[in-house]
Amino acid sequence: MEIAVLKNSGEDTGRKVNLSDDIFGIEPNDHAIYLDVKQFLANQRQGTHKSKERAEIVGSTRKIKKQKGTGTARAGSIKSPIFRGGGRVFGPRPRNYSFKLNKKLKVLARKSAFAYKAQDNGLVVLEDFSFDAPKTKEYISLLNNLELGGKKTLVVVGENDRNIVLSGRNLQNSKVVTADTISTYDLLNAESVVLSESSVEKIENLLK
Protein backbone atom coordinates (compact mmCIF):
# COMPACT_ATOMS: atom_id res chain seq x y z
CA MET A 1 0.00 0.00 0.00
CA GLU A 2 1.13 3.56 -0.71
CA ILE A 3 0.78 6.49 1.64
CA ALA A 4 1.63 10.15 1.12
CA VAL A 5 4.61 11.68 2.91
CA LEU A 6 3.73 14.91 4.72
CA LYS A 7 5.84 17.92 5.63
CA ASN A 8 6.16 19.29 9.17
CA SER A 9 3.65 21.94 8.14
CA GLY A 10 1.10 19.25 7.31
CA GLU A 11 1.34 19.81 3.56
CA ASP A 12 1.87 17.01 1.07
CA THR A 13 5.45 16.66 -0.15
CA GLY A 14 4.27 15.08 -3.40
CA ARG A 15 6.17 11.91 -2.56
CA LYS A 16 4.71 8.58 -1.50
CA VAL A 17 6.19 5.72 0.48
CA ASN A 18 5.31 2.10 -0.21
CA LEU A 19 4.35 0.20 2.95
CA SER A 20 5.01 -3.53 2.79
CA ASP A 21 1.87 -5.66 2.56
CA ASP A 22 3.72 -8.37 4.52
CA ILE A 23 3.53 -6.09 7.56
CA PHE A 24 0.82 -3.47 7.07
CA GLY A 25 -1.51 -5.59 4.94
CA ILE A 26 -1.72 -8.92 6.76
CA GLU A 27 -4.81 -10.46 8.33
CA PRO A 28 -4.49 -9.39 12.01
CA ASN A 29 -4.13 -12.14 14.60
CA ASP A 30 -6.15 -11.11 17.65
CA HIS A 31 -4.81 -13.85 19.92
CA ALA A 32 -1.21 -12.88 19.24
CA ILE A 33 -2.11 -9.27 20.11
CA TYR A 34 -3.82 -10.42 23.31
CA LEU A 35 -0.79 -12.40 24.48
CA ASP A 36 1.71 -9.65 23.67
CA VAL A 37 -0.34 -6.95 25.42
CA LYS A 38 -0.89 -9.26 28.38
CA GLN A 39 2.87 -9.81 28.68
CA PHE A 40 3.56 -6.07 28.39
CA LEU A 41 1.11 -5.23 31.19
CA ALA A 42 2.35 -8.11 33.34
CA ASN A 43 5.91 -6.82 33.04
CA GLN A 44 4.78 -3.44 34.41
CA ARG A 45 3.69 -5.03 37.70
CA GLN A 46 6.16 -4.72 40.57
CA GLY A 47 4.82 -7.78 42.35
CA THR A 48 5.88 -6.40 45.75
CA HIS A 49 2.47 -6.89 47.40
CA LYS A 50 2.67 -8.60 50.79
CA SER A 51 0.43 -9.19 53.79
CA LYS A 52 1.30 -10.95 57.03
CA GLU A 53 0.05 -14.47 57.47
CA ARG A 54 -0.59 -16.21 60.76
CA ALA A 55 3.01 -17.27 61.36
CA GLU A 56 4.31 -13.72 60.82
CA ILE A 57 2.07 -11.90 63.31
CA VAL A 58 3.74 -10.71 66.53
CA GLY A 59 1.65 -11.74 69.50
CA SER A 60 1.25 -14.12 72.43
CA THR A 61 0.92 -17.83 71.77
CA ARG A 62 -0.97 -18.57 74.96
CA LYS A 63 -4.38 -20.19 74.76
CA ILE A 64 -6.74 -17.24 75.07
CA LYS A 65 -9.62 -19.09 76.75
CA LYS A 66 -10.41 -22.52 78.05
CA GLN A 67 -11.24 -25.27 75.61
CA LYS A 68 -14.75 -26.09 76.81
CA GLY A 69 -17.63 -24.50 78.61
CA THR A 70 -17.59 -21.03 77.05
CA GLY A 71 -20.50 -21.67 74.69
CA THR A 72 -18.41 -20.42 71.76
CA ALA A 73 -15.94 -22.01 69.38
CA ARG A 74 -12.61 -23.14 70.74
CA ALA A 75 -9.69 -20.81 70.08
CA GLY A 76 -6.01 -21.43 70.60
CA SER A 77 -4.22 -18.25 69.46
CA ILE A 78 -4.83 -14.51 69.26
CA LYS A 79 -3.02 -14.63 65.88
CA SER A 80 -5.82 -16.64 64.31
CA PRO A 81 -7.27 -15.08 61.11
CA ILE A 82 -10.75 -14.99 62.66
CA PHE A 83 -9.67 -12.35 65.20
CA ARG A 84 -9.04 -8.67 64.54
CA GLY A 85 -5.30 -8.14 64.18
CA GLY A 86 -4.74 -11.76 63.25
CA GLY A 87 -2.94 -13.03 60.16
CA ARG A 88 -4.51 -13.08 56.73
CA VAL A 89 -5.50 -16.38 55.15
CA PHE A 90 -3.60 -17.04 51.90
CA GLY A 91 -2.53 -13.40 51.66
CA PRO A 92 -0.57 -12.02 48.67
CA ARG A 93 3.15 -12.76 48.53
CA PRO A 94 5.88 -11.11 46.40
CA ARG A 95 5.99 -12.73 42.98
CA ASN A 96 7.18 -12.16 39.44
CA TYR A 97 4.32 -11.79 36.94
CA SER A 98 6.46 -11.91 33.78
CA PHE A 99 6.18 -14.82 31.36
CA LYS A 100 7.89 -15.89 28.14
CA LEU A 101 6.62 -15.41 24.61
CA ASN A 102 8.23 -16.59 21.40
CA LYS A 103 9.86 -13.90 19.25
CA LYS A 104 7.85 -14.91 16.18
CA LEU A 105 4.59 -14.44 18.07
CA LYS A 106 5.65 -10.99 19.27
CA VAL A 107 6.56 -10.03 15.70
CA LEU A 108 3.16 -11.26 14.49
CA ALA A 109 1.45 -9.21 17.19
CA ARG A 110 3.20 -6.00 16.10
CA LYS A 111 2.42 -6.72 12.46
CA SER A 112 -1.23 -7.24 13.39
CA ALA A 113 -1.31 -3.94 15.31
CA PHE A 114 0.18 -2.10 12.32
CA ALA A 115 -2.38 -3.80 10.04
CA TYR A 116 -5.24 -2.59 12.23
CA LYS A 117 -3.88 0.96 12.15
CA ALA A 118 -3.56 0.80 8.35
CA GLN A 119 -7.15 -0.45 8.04
CA ASP A 120 -8.43 2.37 10.27
CA ASN A 121 -6.41 5.06 8.44
CA GLY A 122 -4.51 5.66 11.66
CA LEU A 123 -1.07 5.89 10.03
CA VAL A 124 0.68 9.14 9.09
CA VAL A 125 4.10 9.24 7.39
CA LEU A 126 6.09 12.38 8.09
CA GLU A 127 9.35 13.50 6.53
CA ASP A 128 12.32 13.28 8.92
CA PHE A 129 12.42 16.20 11.32
CA SER A 130 14.35 17.48 14.32
CA PHE A 131 14.26 20.33 16.83
CA ASP A 132 17.14 22.67 17.60
CA ALA A 133 16.28 22.44 21.30
CA PRO A 134 13.65 20.70 23.45
CA LYS A 135 10.53 22.76 22.84
CA THR A 136 7.12 21.37 23.78
CA LYS A 137 5.47 24.29 21.96
CA GLU A 138 7.10 23.23 18.67
CA TYR A 139 6.07 19.61 19.25
CA ILE A 140 2.44 20.66 19.87
CA SER A 141 2.55 22.87 16.78
CA LEU A 142 3.74 19.87 14.74
CA LEU A 143 0.81 17.75 15.94
CA ASN A 144 -1.64 20.58 15.25
CA ASN A 145 -0.30 20.90 11.70
CA LEU A 146 -1.08 17.20 11.23
CA GLU A 147 -4.56 17.73 12.76
CA LEU A 148 -3.67 15.41 15.63
CA GLY A 149 -3.69 17.97 18.44
CA GLY A 150 -6.54 16.46 20.45
CA LYS A 151 -5.76 12.82 19.74
CA LYS A 152 -3.66 10.24 21.52
CA THR A 153 -0.60 9.88 19.30
CA LEU A 154 2.48 7.70 19.00
CA VAL A 155 5.42 9.27 17.17
CA VAL A 156 7.96 6.74 15.82
CA VAL A 157 11.39 8.07 14.84
CA GLY A 158 14.26 6.24 13.16
CA GLU A 159 17.00 7.24 15.60
CA ASN A 160 16.86 8.33 19.22
CA ASP A 161 16.63 12.15 19.07
CA ARG A 162 16.93 13.65 22.54
CA ASN A 163 15.30 16.95 21.57
CA ILE A 164 12.24 15.24 20.12
CA VAL A 165 11.88 12.91 23.10
CA LEU A 166 12.16 15.75 25.63
CA SER A 167 9.77 17.93 23.62
CA GLY A 168 7.00 15.33 23.76
CA ARG A 169 7.72 13.84 27.17
CA ASN A 170 5.57 16.34 29.05
CA LEU A 171 2.42 15.60 27.06
CA GLN A 172 -0.03 13.11 28.50
CA ASN A 173 -1.57 12.05 25.18
CA SER A 174 1.60 11.69 23.11
CA LYS A 175 4.59 9.37 23.25
CA VAL A 176 7.84 9.24 21.27
CA VAL A 177 9.58 5.91 20.59
CA THR A 178 12.26 4.66 18.23
CA ALA A 179 11.50 2.05 15.56
CA ASP A 180 13.34 -0.69 17.48
CA THR A 181 11.53 -0.11 20.80
CA ILE A 182 7.95 0.09 19.56
CA SER A 183 5.50 -2.26 21.28
CA THR A 184 2.11 -3.70 20.41
CA TYR A 185 0.59 -1.98 23.43
CA ASP A 186 1.88 1.45 22.33
CA LEU A 187 0.47 0.94 18.83
CA LEU A 188 -2.99 -0.06 20.02
CA ASN A 189 -3.09 2.56 22.78
CA ALA A 190 -2.69 5.40 20.26
CA GLU A 191 -5.43 6.75 18.03
CA SER A 192 -2.89 7.80 15.39
CA VAL A 193 0.64 6.57 14.69
CA VAL A 194 3.06 9.06 13.12
CA LEU A 195 5.96 7.35 11.35
CA SER A 196 9.02 9.35 10.38
CA GLU A 197 10.19 8.52 6.87
CA SER A 198 13.41 6.89 8.11
CA SER A 199 11.54 4.71 10.60
CA VAL A 200 9.47 2.93 7.92
CA GLU A 201 12.46 1.06 6.49
CA LYS A 202 13.71 0.12 9.96
CA ILE A 203 10.31 -1.21 10.97
CA GLU A 204 10.12 -3.33 7.83
CA ASN A 205 13.64 -4.71 8.45
CA LEU A 206 12.79 -5.56 12.06
CA LEU A 207 9.47 -7.26 11.30
CA LYS A 208 10.26 -8.99 8.02
User: pTM value?
Assistant: 0.83
In this structure, the number of other CB atoms found within 10 A of the CB of residue 172 comes to: 6
**Cα–Cα separations (whole angstroms), residue 160 to 69, 91, 165:** 76, 44, 8
Q: What is the pLDDT of residue 149?
A: 82
Picking from 20, 25, 21, 93, the residue whose alpha carbon sits closest to that of residue 56 is 93
Euclidean distance between CA atoms 77 and 79, whole angstroms: 5
With beta carbons less than 8 A apart as the criterion, state whether 187 and 193 touch: yes
Q: In 3D, which of 114, 130, 124, 139 has the Cα closest to residue 27?
A: 114
What domains are defined for the chain? 2-45+98-207 (3.40.1370.10), 48-96 (no CATH)
**Residue 136's pLDDT is what?**
92
The pLDDT tens digits of the residues spanning 101-146 come to 999 999 999 999 999 999 999 899 999 888 889 999 999 999 999 9
With bands split at pLDDT 50, 70 and 90, how would you rate the model's confidence at 23? Answer: very high
pLDDT in tens, 66-90: 999 999 999 989 999 999 999 999 9
